[in-house]
Each structure stands twice: as structure tokens, then as C-alpha cells.
Amino acid sequence: MTDKENRGTSAPSVLLDVWYNNNIAHEGRRVVLTSFGVPLANLMGVVSSNIFQNKDAPKYIPALATTAAFGATGCLLTLVLGAWMILDNKRRNRKTGAKLNVRDIPTERLRDGPAAQEFRWFY
């Protein structure tokens, strides 16, 4: 692949790092999650470099099917997680009796992350 074909391939990894660092307030939990998440995302480069085999050239059907399966699984997991966060925010609003938005809560009150009563997911 040329440099032009590789542009943007690391964007999901960076976006995921930013997302969970915005949602996990506790610094200890963030560092643990980051120390696992970044190497795992980088490890997926090993998977992708090994599924494109010369014997499958020029169409690379097995590799493209594998890539599509991983993409579809990631998409489905993202939609399920997003729906869960929306429902959890609504549940938290009902429990507290106030409709809070992520912007309404000072960060210093969110040290415990999701365990804090005022916590709302950022999506």
C-alpha cells in the first residue's frame, strides 16, 4: 500500500482513546485502560498484515471478508454501547429526578466516574 492508501487508518484508535479518557474520570482507571487499549489496537495491525496473503491475490476475498466481519462487529458493538449509554443516562436522570447533561456537572465531583450520582455518559 502507498502512503495515500494508509491515511486515516489509525483514526479509530485515536478516537477511542479520546472517548474513554473523556468518560473515565479516575486517573488510575484511565491509565490502566490506556495501557491495555493502545497496545491492543496496535496489535490489530499484526492481524491485518497477516490476513492478506499472496495466495489470495488479486482479489483477497478471505482477507476482505475478515476485515468486513471485524468492521461489522465493531459497528454493532458501538451501536449497542451507545444505546446502553443513552438508556443509562435516562435511568440516572429518573433516579435523581433532574435532567442533567454532561456539561452541567463540574469535573471535580466526578472523581468516582460512573459510581458518582451526577455522572452522565459523554457520547
pLDDT digits (tens, 9 = 90+) for 66-123: 988 988 888 898 899 899 999 999 999 999 999 988 888 888 888 788 888 888 888 7
The residues near 54 (Cβ < 8 Å, ≥ 6 apart) are none
Q: Return the higher-pLDDT residue of 12 and 1.
A: 12
Please report the pLDDT score of residue 11 as a whole number. 64
Please report the pLDDT score of residue 78 as a whole number. 85
Cell of 10: 489509525
**Model confidence, pTM:** 0.70
In whole angstroms, how far apart are CA 22 and each of 57, 102, 110?
42, 11, 11
Please report the pLDDT score of residue 62 as a whole number. 94
In whole angstroms, how far apart are CA 12 and each of 22, 66, 74, 75, 109?
15, 18, 10, 11, 29
Identity at 90, one-letter amino acid code:
K
- Per-residue pLDDT of 11-66, as tens digits, reads 667 777 887 788 777 788 888 888 888 888 777 777 777 888 899 999 999 999 99
Rounded to 5°, angle at Cα 49 from 47 and 54: 125
Please report the pLDDT score of residue 123 as a whole number. 74
- Cα–Cα distance, 19 to 77 (Å, whole number): 15
